[in-house]
């Protein structure tokens, strides 16, 4: 089946630094990628939708200058958390959608970000 990978799987960074998370579709071309965040014991909240080659669309309440999303190719999207603070500590999950499969959206394994 379709595979989506994320790197890194875990990252710890200091307050004020920036962290980049990669999301790759390994065996299909992802026309659209989605970024979610999940706080402990809570559900996934959609942060933004990105289409290859265009600017991301952010959900209400998500700061676009803080969470920079780049979808430069059909197999790679990146989320950069800029000037990270402890409250940004969360589980970030990407999903990718192509034009195949009985269901259209495939989720990555997630990246756990801890900001100290």
Partner 1 sequence: SQQGEEDPQALSIQEGENATMNCSYKTSINNLQWYRQNSGRGLVHLILIRSNEREKHSGRLRVTLDTSKKSSSLLITASRAADTASYFCALKTSYDKVIFGPGTSLSVIP
Regarding 7 and contact with partner 1 (CB under 8 A), the answer is no
Regarding 11 and contact with partner 1 (CB under 8 A), the answer is no
Tell the residue number behind the tokens 């200058």, with chain if given: 65
Contact window for partner 1 (CB under 8 A) among 14-22, 60-68, 69-77, 96-104: 96-104
C-alpha dihedral sign at 75, 68, 46, 89: positive
Select 81 or 93, whichever has its Cβ closest to partner 1. Answer: 93
Contact code string over 35-74 relative to partner 1, x by CB under 8 A: -x----xxxxxx--x-------------------------
**What's the maximum distance between 2 C-alpha atoms anywhere in the chain?**
42
Q: Cβ distance 71 to 57 under 8 Å?
A: no
Q: Give the Cβ contact number of residue 76 at 10 Å.
A: 16
β-pair partners for 14:
none
Q: Could you list the residues that contact partner 1 (CB under 8 A)? A: 32, 34, 36, 41-46, 49, 91, 93, 95, 102-105, 107-110, 112
């Amino acid at each position: 089946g379709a595979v989506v990978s994320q790197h890194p799987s875990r990252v710890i960074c200091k307050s004020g630094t920036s962290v980049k998370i990669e999301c790759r579709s390994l065996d299909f071309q992802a026309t659209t990628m989605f970024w979610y965040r999940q706080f402990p014991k809570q559900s996934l909240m959609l942060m933004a939708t990105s289409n290859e080659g265009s600017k991301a669309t952010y959900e209400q309440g998500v700061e676009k200058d803080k969470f920079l999303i780049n979808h430069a190719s059909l197999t790679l999207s990146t989320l950069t958390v800029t000037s990270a603070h402890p409250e940004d500590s969360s589980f970030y999950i990407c999903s990718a959608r192509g034009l195949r499969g009985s269901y259209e959206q495939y989720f990555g394994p997630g990246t756990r970000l801890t900001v100290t």
